[in-house]
Structure 1
Amino acid sequence: MNNHQFRHRQTAHCESGVISNLLGHYGLQISEPMAFGIGAGLFFGHLPFVKVNGVPGTTYRIWPGAIFQRVCKRLGVKMELAKFSTPEKGMAALDKVIDTGTPVGLLSSVYYLPYFPPSYRFHFNAHNLVVYGKREGQYLVSDPVMDTVTEIDPVSLAQARFAKGFPAPKGKMYYPVHVPDKASFEKPIKEGIEQTCHYMLKIPFPMFGVKGIRFLAKRVKDYPEKAGERKAGLYLGNVIRMQEEIGTGGAGFRFVYAAFLQEAATLLNKQELSLLAGELTKVGDLWRNFAFSAGRVCKSRSADNVSYRELSEMLLQCAAAEETFFRKLAQVRF
């Protein structure tokens, strides 16, 4: 493994950003959108029975860790992965690996990262970052969502790695032990696209994919009646928060995937992927408009049934646009 200086690049989303930065360190150049696409990161799920801080959960991307596993598998990268029972063991293991000059990916809670502004520090336990060395007792951090490298003290890092709550990171760390010099992206792109289309169109449960967006639309319409005014605002607020703040959010993930299709179009010389990238950007705009209108409803403080009905209509529009898009994408022949 080479020990040249770790190169930090800011990215839109932590998991695909860490993949891009870590593999790039070993000479396998992969952009963040390409990692997101090959890892089939685009997804939708609304889980009323999975409460996050008492509020139903909504996700616009695949579950944490999945992008990483898929990219490694599809590109032939081998990762060493470890979790720990105590912070002492976890920190000792980290020190041992970075002493060899190997950058290490870590799972952490945003809440305990002091370099984040206070308004961004909330209990989100699936944030990925890279520690690539140590200087004067401080750990050197490449956090892909920050514009420059930064530092963190051992106490805060241990707290972030061993935060309580769901999902508990348990000090999870990972680093490459084998990275191929060259990798063909053709088959991985095709597999990533097929998997994304399957998840968005074919999961039989109503909470996932395009069906999941319609499922949420129906529930949003009934929020004022079924949940009451205060809870309706909370529930809606969380839908937007998951969309706009966690990672890059729902609309943002659509834009990242569009960038992946654009890159894939050039790599595979497939013009239709480029046209589909343009369509998906328009879908991303629909999500942005929804978030903007939902934000206004949340702030207006009145559980106005009319506006919740309108938001429900906007979600149905997003669902229709995504269904059309994914049906076209599923028909692209490679």
Structure 2
Amino acid sequence: MRVKSIDYLDGMHCETTATGTLLRQIGIHLSEPMLFGLGQGLGFIIWNMKTMDFPFLGGRIKTDFLTENLSRNLNVTLTVNQTGSISKAWHEVKNLLDGGNVVGLKLDCYHLEYFSNPFHFAGHYCAIFDYDDTYAYLIDTAQQCGWVRTSLKSLALARSEKGPMSSKNLYYIIQTSGGGIVLKDTILRAVKNNAKDYINPPIKNIGYKGIHKTASEIIKWFDKSSNIEGEFNALANIMERGGTGGALFRNMYRDFLKESFDIINFQPIGEAYHEFVDIARLWTEVSQLFIKISKTQDRIFLQNAVEILELLSEKEKKTMEKLSSI
């Protein structure tokens, strides 16, 4: 099969990049912040297990939910399938590609050959748009150079990997439903729903409660870590560039609010935008403090990070409470 060209989203976050690319194939061109906001993507989780070297900090809602929310809010048809059979998984995706579809995939990025520093993360997304006898041709994030290829063998391993956040060879397509949307109403509904979910976390390690819990958990992490330099540096880079923990996703939600205000000129959205300017800046300060901790192992930087996290918990709670009542 000859490799074809594709109109793709040059994004920073994997799920919005993959889903945004699928949406472009049916004529829906939205910015990545708008995709993230309409997908009700803002969230937070701290997840720590004895088998993990350091806590996982997630700055967005649970995997898969963003695309589901986005499809519902944009009134498009999302079809998701999974199978435990590796051969069937490829056969089904191959048939969709042969039929002219671009297909979203959820997989473990560890096996993808274009990752220069591979690590296990089974909640990664990309879009496959073509293949030949040897390679699959994918769209991934800008950090991974966007238009990439990996061997069919490596793709099969990535799709079938087991572990936290993994799925059974999950793939999805998006099609038009024939209906339209009123963007103002859609924005307001997405903002309100995201805010309501955020301020009503089911457990204490989610939402603003999770940020508050992180403030105490990082002290425990620091005290028991045998590799402060490597672990704090790794999480700082992931937070700022990969989005987990807050920085990238807060930047994205800030930009979504700004774009939304420019479209609908609704004052509470504008006020929330200004509040998220400060929130995003503070998350970047946390990641910078983690780098200082990794370099110096000085507890003063740890205490500074704790204080900012406690402040962020309060600031995000107050802002999202306001948005939940619009």
| Deviations 1:57-110, CA, capped at 9 Å, x for gaps | 321111111100111122221122211212111111111110111111111211
Question: Which of 129, 139, 142 is the aligned partner of 2:136?
Answer: 139
Give the distance between the partners of 2:80 and 2:204, measured in 1 at CA: 34
1:69-148 matches, within 5 Å, as 69-117=68-116, 119=117, 121-135=118-132, 137-145=134-142, 146-148=144-146
Deviation at 1:134, TM superposition (A): 2.2
Q: 2:51 & 2:233 partners in 1: Cα distance? A: 13
When the two chains are superposed, the root-mean-square deviation of aligned CA atoms in Å is 2.5
The residue type equivalent to 1:201 in the other structure is I
Matched with 1:57 is: 56
Q: Residue deviations 1:226-276, cap 9 Å, x none? A: x43527667755653552343565111011111111121122222442342
Alignment of structure 1 residues 141-180 onto 2, 5 Å: 141-145=138-142, 146-180=144-178
Matches within 5 A, 1:282-321: 282-300=278-296, 302=297, 304-321=298-315
Q: Is the 8 A contact 1:36 1:256 kept in 2?
A: yes
Deviates more, 1:264-273 or 1:244-253: 244-253
Does 1:324 pair with 2:318?
A: yes
| Aligned residue in 1 for 2:25 | 25
| Runs of 4+ in structure 1 over 4 Å off | 231-239
Q: With structure 1 as the length reference, what TM-score do the two structures score?
A: 0.86
Structure 2 unpaired stretches of 5+: none
Deviation at 1:179, TM superposition (A): 4.2
Aligned equivalents of 1:229 and 1:162: distance in 2? 32
User: What is the percentage of aligned positions where both structures have the same residue?
Assistant: 24
1:100 and 1:166 map into 2 onto residues whose CA distance is: 32
* Structure 1 residue 188: Cα displacement: 2.6
After TM superposition, give the deviation of residue 123 of structure 1 in Å: 0.3
Distance 1:60 1:255 in 2: 11
Q: In structure 2, what is the Cα distance between the partners aligned to 1:134 and 1:128?
A: 17
| Conserved 8 A contact 2:187-2:260 | yes
Residues 1:310 and 1:198: Cα distance change in structure 2 (over 3 Å): same
Alignment partners' CA distance in 2, 1:115 and 1:235: 23
Q: Shift of residue 127 of structure 1? A: 1.1
Q: Tell me if structure 1 keeps the 8 A contact 2:241–2:248.
A: no
Any stretches of 5+ residues in structure 1 without a counterpart? none
Decide whether aligned partners of structure 1 residues 305 and 115 sit closer, same or farther in structure 2, where only a CA change above 3 A counts.
Answer: closer
Equivalent pair of 2:293/2:299 in contact (CA under 8 Å): no
